Structure formats: C-alpha cells, structure tokens
Chain A
C-alpha cells in the first residue's frame, strides 16, 4: 500500500512536474508568440507608416537597393546624398537604438549628435508620435541589411557649416509632436497629423525664404529649389486648393493620381505612386477632410495677368499659338480644350494651366509625361515631349494661347520664361 502511495505520489509528482513544465512551456510559448505577434503587428504598422513618410523614395538610389540610400537630391544649397537606413551594422543603422532613431526623426540629429540638414524633412517628421516612430524603427530593423557606403553630400559654402545649421534650427525649427485641435473632429485631426507629419506636404508646398525655411505651415505653395517645379498652394482656389471639391474626388486624386478634372505631374506623381496610393481608405478620407478644410488663402495669391484688355493685335499673336495647338495638341486635348476626362486632362478651366506660375505648364509641354501607375490607374496614357520639335518661341506661343483661350485668363509667357524652365530634375 505504502508502495502504492509512494508510487502514486511519485507519479503524481512526476505528472505534476510534467504538467507544470508543460504549463510553463505553454505560457512561455504564448508569451513568446504574443510578443512576436505584437512585434509583427508593429512591423506591419511601421511598414505602412514608412510608406506614408515615403522614406524609401528618398533613401533609394535610382535603380538601387531599397533603403540603402545613395540617392542624390539637388537643392539650391548643394547636392545631398541620402543615408543607408537598412540595419547593416557598418554602413546602415544596424547599431542604432530606438532612442537614437527618435533623436533623428524628432530632433533632427544623427546618432553621433551631428545636426542633420532639413532636406531630410525632420522639420515635419518631428510631429510624428513616439509610438509611430518606434514602429517605423521596428520595420527598418526587420529589413535585410545591405552593406553600402554612400558618398558624402556636396554642400555649398557657407551652408556646409554646422554652426550656421544650428542657427538655422533655432530660427526655423519648431520641435514637437502634433498637438490635436480639440475643436475639430478626430478624423480631421488624423488627417492633419498625417499631412503635416509623415506626409510632409509642407516640404514642397510652401513658400520658402532665401535660407530655405518654410514661411508658414499653411501650404501656400512655392517653387521647389533644385527641382525646377512649382508646388501649388493647397489653400487657394486659384491654385490647387480643394475646399470646393467633393471628398471622394480628393480621395481619388490621392490614391490614383488622376480624377476627371485633374492629373498629377512629375514630382507629385512620384509622391502618389510611392506613397499616397497606399493610404488606407480611412486615412485617405481623413487626409481629404483636412485638405478640404484648409482655409481659402487667395489674398496672397494673384492671378498675375499682365495685360488688361485683349486687344486685336494680342488676339492675332495668340492665334499663332492657336495654329500650333491645332497641329500638335488638339487630338488629345480637344478643340474645346476639354480633353478626355481622366485620360487627357482638360486645359480649359484647369487651374494648373492658369495659375500664376507657368513653370509646370511649360515643363509639361517641353518634357511630356505620364501620370503615375497606381492600383487605381495601372495603365495611364501619356503626353509626348515637344522639346525636340518646337522652338522656345513656339512653346511660348502655345502656352500663352492655352492660358488665354476657352475662358482661361493668365499672364503671357515669353521665350525667356521657357528658357528658364529648362534644366532641373524631377
């Protein structure tokens, strides 16, 4: 009997130990698995946020390895070369901690304390929350490490001075996570958070002073130094303000790059293809709500019409442009300038054509282009380049014509304007 009890106790003990260890193992495995799944969740979130921040767009050389850097960004202050942000220990950010990464995204300082140039739009990314920053970091750390050293940036004197940069930062860099405006809806705040932070719309759509600092954050539009493109005001109905657009159409523009009345060009096409098309429906909606709410700010914008009456001689001058239009453009954009909505943009009533700066219109006539390929518009139609066919005077005539026909009214353009629009990159 005793033996039996002993046996029982023993086996009980054994069983208990067995169960115990099993239970232990299971909780451990559960904990491990849930850690892993929060980790995968965090990585997935980070992947999404990195898209919205378009980190890959800048941190990948043309035709190069994703996130390994080496892309050259031409600016008015020199040529900047982006860094390798894959987790390679020697050439990337493999040795970085979450804290180091936060210091970069939020404070604009590298791991070694070096002040970073605002070409890296930390002036906007500073609004990103710590939690979102950590997710992006987790995602970057999950990428395959790529060993690639990139050449140093070639920054012009005197901008290459860290002291000057420190001064610039005290003057123009407002550090701080996005603060919600409680008088507005949660959706609006989400949209504002995305547009002002990760989406860094203000990195391009802003008026800059000579030191390259954004003048305010109301998206009033400006020329992008080094790129030779004009990013229109998002708060003026004379330019690209969206206050009178239906929300669905704004969502369509962000996610597909084209709508019945508008098509994204050049750098904005790249932003849509690389970044905005991946917005979730909910976030696209939120961003649209925010963009639509931007107050009309027409006061700072003038139409820039530089003549008051359409005289007979002016009309005859424009007619030369009209003949060229008929020969080269009409088959796509139509005799009435109405185009084929969603395929060939209307030029009649198109703000992108009539806004004060003729830069984008001239560029488009010279170089042509395709709207971006996106999930919603995988096979776009294209606009041919005319640089190899038309002389600058002829381009000036055509552009003046389309800016002043079908009810359009804007300043005339000269061959000198056309000359000035050449060069620059995308």
Chain B
C-alpha cells in the first residue's frame, strides 16, 4: 500500500559563507550536505547528531524558512518552492525549543495561538475564536490562561502554547526542534504524551529533533543520525538502538548519562577535537575521530549502503 510519501527530501544542501578571520579568505560552511529521505504519513522521524551538524538548518529548509543551496523538499509530492507562504503554513508548522523567545511577550496567549489563522486572512472572527478555544482545551490550557501573557505561564505551559500555535491551521507535518529540552522530566513526559496523542488523533507526521536519545527512542518510529551535515545512518528506531552500525552512532549511544550515581562520565574516545564544518576532512568526515577507521577512510568518501531493507549506512566498515 505504498503511496506518495507525505514528506520527501531530495539532495538537499545548504551552505553558508563565513568570514575566515583577519587576512583570511571567506570560507564556505557546508551546514547540510546532500541529504535525501522520505517519510510516510503518520510516522515520526527522529533526528539526532552532534551540536552544529545541521539539524536546525535542515528543519528550517523543510519549513521553507531557509532557502536550500541545492535540492528540493516535496510535500505530498509537490515541490515546496511551488507553494506560497500561506500554503506552506497550512501544511507544515514548527515547534521550537525555547517557547519563551519564540513567543511575543506582549501578546496574550490567545492572540499568539490564533496568529497563523489570522495571517491566512480568510477566516471569520467567530471561526478564529472557536478554533482557538477548542485548541486551548485540546492542549490542556484553560480559557483563563488564554488571556495571560507568556511570562505568566510556566515553561511547560508555554510549550503547550507553541504546540497549539503549530496546530491551529491543522497542518499535516509538524517539525519539532528540541521541543522539550527546556523542560524537567515530568513536564517533558506530559508534553511528549500530548504530542503522541495529537499525532494519533489528527494523523500528523512529525520530524523530531532532539539530543535526548531516550526521548527519541520513545517517540520516533525511525531515526536519522547526522554528522557534519551528512546523514551517516538511518534505521527503524528499535533496530538503530539495538544494532547501531556507524561508529559515530555507537559513540553517541555510549555517551548517554543514565541516572546511576558513581558511574562517572563516559569517555568514548572521540577526543576533544571537534570537526570544523568550514574545513571538512577528506574521505569520511568522521575519520579523524573514528576509533575503527580503516586506511581508505582518510581518502575515499564512504559509499551509501543498505545493510537491510530499512537501514541506510554511510561507512567503509562492513
């Protein structure tokens, strides 16, 4: 029953120019480099990877907030670049990490939530009122809280506002970039449970970026691992956590801090030298830090392989 995937990303790249420092030439920073994937309706794609590896940039391109240097995003088969801003907003919406800085501090919660609806310019006031009230209730906020301003809500409540604002246009895809990393574990659980409920009830598709691997394991149906702008591994969630194939994925999983006192901090041997995105290593981008590197890793770009039906891996190791 294979249909057109709801989201498909084809050879997407994004480069930034940056000043190299005094007397140095401008450098080209490849934030996202030739990423392709498809996502079926109702699924949740988790994206994990090193800080600065291009997750947010990828998310912004999918949202149409950042123009790709090359490649294209397709939503329900239609190229994103063929849609205008309003049409895009009806299909894809973001939920960002810090709800505080992304909410206008002077507006009431109701006004914040209804803004995307008002921006469409085609809805009657009573329809806006009705939808806003229904959504407030749906995300667990009271009408009274709807009259407050953001500073009068807790972090968890503000994240509910961000979710309500993302859902008001009844989009098909929601891009969550670190939606719970500012929240404590209990409130995080409430928000994740809410997102999951909404996904099932409204048949939403999520792209879910997070540094919290336990959270990703819980919410994602499939996971993509990024390193320096590349997708280095992708697999069904359970398989990825059970059999991580890429050495970077393995290092990532080994670095998780479980709440067990006395174990200290893991050192997975990646070294303290971080990669420089404006000066990419030759061969495999991970090779200078990889504990399993083979001689060819320093010179040849690793091939993209499919070790199983669902798994995608970019590595010389077999």
Do A and B pair up? The answer is no
- Please give the residue numbers on chain B whose beta carbons come within 8 Å of chain A beta carbons, in ascending order: none
